[in-house]
A = this chain, B = another copy of it.
Amino acid sequence: MSQVIDAAPGNRREQQKEAKRLALINAALAVFSRVGFAAAKIGDVAEEAGVSKGTVYLYFESKEKLFEGMVKAKMVPMLDNVAEISGNEKATAIERLRTHLTFFYTKILDDERRQIMRLIMSEGPNFPHLAEFYHANVLSRGQAMVNSIIQQGVESGEFRKMEGHGLMQNIAAGALIAGIWKQVFDPFQPIDLDAYFETHIDLILNGLRAQPEHD
């Protein structure tokens, strides 16, 4: 009770609580992305997390809050990553763009993240909070970053000058679609993400490039 709880909170209870909250979040991601929000059963989330149904309500006050909490929790690492990468202003714009996209494919498009992405796309209109949060914290940052890279590239002569409305969306689109395809159409036509990535970056870099090099 009077125990001071520092960085890694000491006693066993606290740890277990934290572990359980995490288990619930993972279970929620699994269940929600398997069947969507409306069809997901709290009982299933509980079972998958290895607790009883009532326990879920000790951690999240409703199904909606569980969903929102899960999505936000799963976004945090994404935000950190996005922040972390934005540095390195010394590289050329082409290098930066390549790094950025590589990063996108490896960190943003991994299994968990693309499920989150699809959930936001499908449930977004019913959860305006979340869509807004995602927009403010992920998309608009991505946008700022792409704009800064493009601007650098234009100034350095690497890229041609483009009007730029929706440039960020166009640049990221290929990656997002790859993630969606993987989840929806892979059974009918598997997608090779590595090869796809090469096509994508090749297309984008050449689309932006001011002077093509002969190779």
Residues of A within 8 A of B (CB): 34-39, 118, 120-126, 128, 131-132, 135-136, 139-140, 160, 162-167, 169-174, 176-178, 180-181, 183-185, 187-189, 191-192, 195-196, 198-200, 202-209, 211-212
Q: Which residue of B lies closest to A132 (CB)?
A: B188
A176-B173 contact in complex given A121-B122, A140-B189, A207-B207, C-beta closer than 8 Å: yes
Known: A122-B123, A170-B177, A209-B212. 20 other contacts (CB 8 A): A34-B125, A36-B36, A36-B123, A37-B39, A121-B121, A121-B180, A124-B184, A135-B185, A135-B188, A163-B199, A165-B192, A165-B196, A166-B178, A166-B200, A167-B203, A169-B181, A170-B203, A171-B203, A174-B174, A211-B212
The 3 A-B residue pairs whose C-beta atoms are closest, nearest first, are A122-B122, A207-B207, A38-B38
Q: Cβ of A124: which chain B residues have Cβ within 8 Å of it?
A: 183-185
Task: Tell me the bound Cα distance from A180 to B118 in angstroms.
Answer: 11
B122 with A199: CB separation less than 8 A: no
A178 with B184: CB separation less than 8 A: no
Task: Tell me the bound Cα distance from A188 to B136 in angstroms.
Answer: 9
